[in-house]
Amino acid sequence: MPDVKMVVCCKQVPDPEAPPTAFKIDPTVNKVTLPRDIKPVIGQYDEFALEAALRIKDKVGGKITVLSLGNNIARDVIKKTLAVGGDELILLEDESFEEGDSWSTAYALAMAIKKIGEYDLIFCGRQSSDWDAGQVGLGIAEILSIPALTLARKVEIIDGKAKVEQVISDGYQVTEIGFPSVITVTSELGNLRYAALKGIMAAAKKQPVVWKPADIGLEPSQVGIAGRRVKLAKLFQPAKDAKCEIVEGESPAEAGANLAVKLREAKII
Amino acid sequence: MAFKGVDYYGIEELLSDEEKMFRNAARGFLEKEVEPLVVNAFHKEELLNMKELAPKMGEVGMIGATIPQEYGGGGANYTQFGLLCQELERVDGALRSFVAVQSGLVMYPIWQFGTEEQKRKWLPQMASGKIIGCFGLTEPNRGSDVGGMETVAKKNGNVWVLNGAKEWISEASTADFALVYARTDEGVKAFLIPRGTEGFTQTFTDKKGAMRVGDVGTLALNDVKVPEEDVLPGSTRVKHVFACLNQARFGISWGAIGAAMSCYETALNYTKQREQFGAPIAAYQLVQRDLVNMLIEITKAQLLSYRLGRLLDAGKAKHQQISLAKKNNVEMARMCARTARSLLGANGCSYDYPPIRHMGNIEAVYTYQGTDFIHTLILGQDITGIQAFTRKL
């Protein structure tokens, strides 16, 4: 089936490869603070989701609309989605979108997808690369009343349906899902292709469309922190207490046996 | 991406989205595909397999970035090319050499001085990385003294016959063809010579202390016959040779920043972790002085190259300005490599850390593409009006 209409949700997150010591938590306001030199990136799982859509476009043709929600979305980061082959970029960008939870994010994205109108497949990463909640994709499906499949490692279009290989604990299962539907994608699908110079130069000519809450029929009170249904009770860095104990023995074998006894006593094995 | 860059003066804000995107794409590609191969290759002086890597680099748009898209290039501006060179040399100078040679020394002259047929024949294949070229200018007896070139080409009917030798040629043994300069009765001309041409020998030079992951070697020309259609018609004078060198020299000015960034970042992280006398060595004043000196020189070099890129894009850059940037930035990277090596103490002598590898590479860069002395004299002539290259004894 040619020309599959796809929406891919991509979130801008702080670079997860930044050293953990760079992230500071302020427990008085329950917030993570980042130094300025930690650059944002597109969430890794969202990149896999985009790659899934690009492979479908390569094989059977289609249109990819990338959707991103946040505030101060870095253009040089998010336009990578256009450089690799996305056709259109819509940013839900406003101060009021900040600090939402999975529900308020899914709700705003679903309203934007409704406004986009025509869609066959909605791709999301299996979870974000910052909070790891893993709920937004399924939330969008619930709000739009469409089916969803999770943890896709391969997606193909066959006879007007998506044939999906889903990762399970001991392998994978093959399932089919009709249109329209939501598919969340996992790392086994493979990395997003590199942005090539020609794609970057072509993307430079495209400008993202920016929608505010009112553009998708929402009040500022329905999005971001105001629209949260989950309250963050406490955010803090757990104190870690590390102790080192040398397990001795007359021989390596005896030391090993002594270690095993201690691990058993500690109920680790 | 693990590397966050060195940007003390907010140069990031001066870059366009597409400039940052291309830099980031190159950084991501190189960190994943190339960087893990470099240390062992350098240690063993085993060449990176450019026949395998070049097509991948071509896909990302790293080869011939500034060449127009109609000839397979990327249509990038000079700042994008510079940022690419920075990322390449941050990984290893030989990679930047490879790209600078392909783009600035082989593709650029074909594009500027070649026929339409030559452009269509060579440029798209080179941009895709399917074909590798080399640039034959330096000779065993003629380095800086380009005008004294000993390789000659004599016309015999519709064929040129070349004799001579070229030395210290990047990609010499790998190249599918060479762009070779030779003295003729009609001036210095550029000849395109495919691999395997009778009398044309390509040899690898080993036992180098620099650029050990890159192919460097010699070209020997023994009655090599080149048909007229493989001569670049627009390149007839030494000044046309320098037009190509200016491309590569600009790339070097950015590449040197990449090497220096690598050294600075390594030294900064190391000195913050390494403890002596009960404190991280970064807590000591002498160490801080060294770190700050590196940062200051890198920042100045960045501003220089950034401005130079914008001048080139506007068509306003003088070749003397390119000399200034090449000379300054390479000297800066040389200082950073030595300083970082020293701050790392004995570990600085290990290839487990990049400074000593950059230190070797930057010595080659200090000499090639116009030695530091030559660039000094170019600038000296520009400000005094008196040339000091030659003297009669």
Average pLDDT for runs of 10 along chain B of length 393: 83 95 96 95 95 97 97 96 98 97 96 97 98 97 90 96 97 97 95 98 96 96 97 92 92 98 97 97 98 98 98 96 98 98 97 97 96 97 96 86
In a domain, A145, yes or no: yes
Judged by a CB distance cut-off of 8 A, whether residue A192 touches chain B is: no
Judged by a CB distance cut-off of 8 A, whether residue A41 touches chain B is: yes
Cβ <8 Å between A17 and B24 = no
Same domain, A195 and A254: no
Same domain, A253 and A137: no
Q: Check residue A221 and give its pLDDT.
A: 85
Q: Check residue A2 and give its pLDDT.
A: 58
Same domain, B242 and B226: no
| Distance between B75 CA and the closest CA of chain A, angstroms | 8
Distance between CA atoms of residues A199 and B373, nearest Å = 41
Same domain, B82 and B106: yes
Q: Which of B1, B7, B60 is the closest to A17 by Cβ?
A: B1
Digit-coded pLDDT (tens) for A107-134: 999 999 999 999 999 999 999 988 889 9
In a domain, B392, yes or no: no
Distance between CA atoms of residues B16 and B77, nearest Å = 11
Q: Check residue B321 and give its pLDDT.
A: 98
Same domain, A211 and A253: no
Same domain, B200 and B266: no
Cβ <8 Å between B17 and A79 = yes
pLDDT-based confidence at residue A19 (cuts at 50, 70, 90): confident
Residue A221: CATH number of its domain: 3.40.50.620
Cβ <8 Å between B61 and A38 = no
Same domain, B276 and B309: yes
Same domain, B269 and B366: yes
- A18 CB neighbours in chain B (<8 A) are 4
Q: Which domain holds residue B302?
A: 238-384
Size of interface A-B (CB pairs under 8 A): 68
What integer best gives the mean pLDDT of chain A?
93
Same domain, B216 and B302: no
Residue B84: CATH number of its domain: 1.10.540.10
Give the gyration radius of chain B's Cα atoms. 21
Cβ <8 Å between B17 and A41 = no
Cβ <8 Å between B75 and A17 = no
Cβ <8 Å between A197 and B29 = no
Same domain, A252 and A217: no
Q: Check residue A34 and give its pLDDT.
A: 79
Same domain, B94 and B44: yes
Domain stops at, among B201, B230, B259: B230
Distance between CA atoms of residues B217 and B167, nearest Å = 6
Secondary structure class of B368 (helix, strand, coil)? coil
In a domain, A233, yes or no: no
Judged by a CB distance cut-off of 8 A, whether residue A80 touches chain B is: yes
Q: Which domain holds residue A249?
A: 239-269
Same domain, B190 and B248: no
Number of domains in chain B: 3
Domain stops at, among B176, B198, B230: B230
Supply the pTM of this predicted model. 0.91
Q: Check residue A261 and give its pLDDT.
A: 94
Q: Which of B1, B4, B22 is the closest to A200 by Cβ?
A: B22
DSSP string covering B157-220: TTEEEEEEEEEEEETTTT-SEEEEEEEETTEEEEEEEETT-TTEEEEE--S-SS-TTS-EEEEE
Same domain, A180 and A243: no
